[in-house]
Amino acid sequence: MKSFVPLQYIPIEDDGYHIQIQATVNSHNVRLVVDSGASRSVLDLNRINRLNGTDQRAVAHIEAQGLGEDIESYLLHCDEIKLLSQRLVDYNVVLVDLTPMNQLFSSLNAPKIAGILGGDLLAEYKGIINYDKRTLKIAGKSYPLFILSFTDGSFHMITHLPVNGKPACFLLDTGASKTVFDIREFPNLHSFDTNDLVLNDRPSAGIHITTSEHQSIQLEKLSFGYLTMYKTEILLLDLSNINYTYSLLNLPPIDGILGNDLLRSLEAIINYKKKTLRLKD
């Protein structure tokens, strides 16, 4: 039997979004951010005692390979933990202090989260994210999406979409509230005057790079895939840290991060089983 879980959209500064689901961890009802740009799923360091029913024992300190900045992270070995409807045996849980993210959600009067559902579990259990229906289907069960106004077993999803008719490569990141372009690569896609750039300190690009310096520019017209945008603001960010990591893995550089604002506008369907991104006709 097919079942779906709704997605909730959480607006972040005008037309940026994060998405959450209501899920369970060891029978505890929790909120999780769905973040395809996170290579590993994580739980909140501050809530693991209550969720797991054991003493917090971080067996190893690790450096999270997220977007832009290193995050202080820990591994906790669990003989067994139940996440979503899956019983995970002999599982290493990644723990991160999610206080900054929850402070952001509190400022928006949005529910706090207990963790992040990342690319590892989305890929392993063949997740399908449907922005049109606002659902996440994973491991045979569907969850509503609540959209607020590199180690073994971890994944990033890359997609190719034309920008102004020119080929471009994007990291698909459902944890990014807004789409951003690499400030170094964007001149190859669209000409602009650097004097028109302005600093932008809005929390726009997601969990891992919320403190990075953004710049923005107003453009009269920009074509993205089949979508043409007029008088639109484009966010620019130095993505050299990500592209350096990709170069070490012999992967091509990305031109930007495709976030929830455009994914929602394009009514995207992300299918981890088929490894496809489907956009509305």
Q: How are beta strands 256-258 and 180-182 bridged, if at all?
A: antiparallel
Does residue 68 contact residue 244 with C-beta atoms inside 8 Å? Answer: no
Does residue 162 contact residue 223 with C-beta atoms inside 8 Å? Answer: yes
Q: Are both 5-147 and 157-278 of the same fold?
A: yes
Identify the CATH homologous superfamily for domain 5-147. Answer: Acid Proteases (2.40.70.10)
Residue 245 has pLDDT above 60, yes or no: yes
- Structure confidence at residue 254 (pLDDT): 92
Over the chain, what is the mean pLDDT?
79
Does residue 217 contact residue 234 with C-beta atoms inside 8 Å? Answer: yes
Q: State which fold the 157-278 domain adopts.
A: Cathepsin D, subunit A; domain 1 (2.40.70)
Q: Domain boundaries in the chain?
A: 5-147, 157-278
Q: Running DSSP on this structure, what letter comes out for residue 160?
A: E
Does residue 270 contact residue 36 with C-beta atoms inside 8 Å? Answer: yes
Q: Which residues pair with 237 in a beta bridge?
A: 182
73-80 contacts: CB < 8 A, separation 24 or more? 73/42, 74/45, 76/48, 76/52, 78/52, 78/54
Q: Residue 10 contacts by C-beta under 8 Å, 6 or more apart in sequence?
A: 17, 18, 19, 20, 105, 108, 110, 146, 147, 148, 149
Q: What is the per-residue pLDDT across 123-153, written as a single tens digit (0 to 9) for each?
A: 888 899 998 888 999 877 887 877 665 555 5
Q: What is the per-residue pLDDT across 15-28, written as a single tens digit (0 to 9) for each?
A: 567 889 988 888 88
